Homo-oligomer: A and B are copies of this chain.
């Protein structure tokens, strides 16, 4: 059965429009070409209206006026043909499968020489068609993480609808977020906010301590740098259920990037910010100021930590008074702390003291 027919037809139309453009360029005697935004740190800018970072005006051109450019467009046309068929047949595939599938194409010049090339082409097509790869039915390689909380949802699967309550109908591991969370419809909930958690150890602590029940919280496990599916469902929980989103990570520069990826998206995928990013997300900690205030066990900053913090001072996503203060404070104290360092105050400290205090400071409780 088809799970999402309207958006399938729309995605297919947009892909065929791209192919039609090449056709028109040929027909009018022009050399076919495709314009793509330049994807560098200097070409992302803040979109005030939507509160996200998007590509600026600089573009690069893929033109068939040279052999390498012509091959790129040829491959794009083969991929468009494959994707249109895939949508017709309601199939899906991974980026890696696409790469290997190209070996079966009749024209050797259309085959990919490595996976970077096919990955890149799918990203290009996402950008120029304004359709996400999930809507092309390209499945990500990494699966989404899990969710636990007072949320009743309906997932459309190939095998029919599944109605699942994310506390009552799941085991201790929680609800596994599917690769394409747009197959989910939120039916009902009694949540007050969403708490995204970096590590599995802390996620398990919150669930064991019943934090999701006591505080009406939807706990989303980020599993380190979050997968697209995890970021997408977080965005939808914010938009559709109007819930505050807070992000709880380790207190080091790599974890601040995890927060930034939830809140603002990544430079590589600025074209997807409106789909994946949750600009209203707030950082709960571990803050450098928490390290001092709660006297947490720490490790010294390594050279690469210091470099990463300094690079964040130049990152457009961290240009707020809040972040500049936190980052400068951390460079000053020269220390970092993990989420689970809160256990040095006892296993209940995080749920009885730290999170309630921080949530109330932030105005979420």
Contact = CB atoms under 8 A, between A and B. Distances in A.
B97 A340 contact: yes
Contact of A157 (B144, B171, B179): B171
Contacts of A158: 172, 208, 210
Contact of A171 (B97, B139, B164): B164
Given A101-B347, A164-B171, 5 more contacts: A91-B208, A158-B208, A162-B170, A170-B176, A173-B177
A69 interface: no
A79 to B, nearest CB: 14
Contacts of A139: 201, 204
A324 to B, nearest CB: 29
Contacts of A316: none
A265 to B, nearest CB: 22
Interface in A148-193: 155, 157-159, 162, 164, 167-179, 183-184
Dominant SS among interface residues on chain A: mixed
A172 to B, nearest CB: 4
Interface residues of A, number: 57
Nearest to A91: B347
A171 B155 contact: yes
Contacts of A159: 167, 213
A58 B221 CA distance: 43
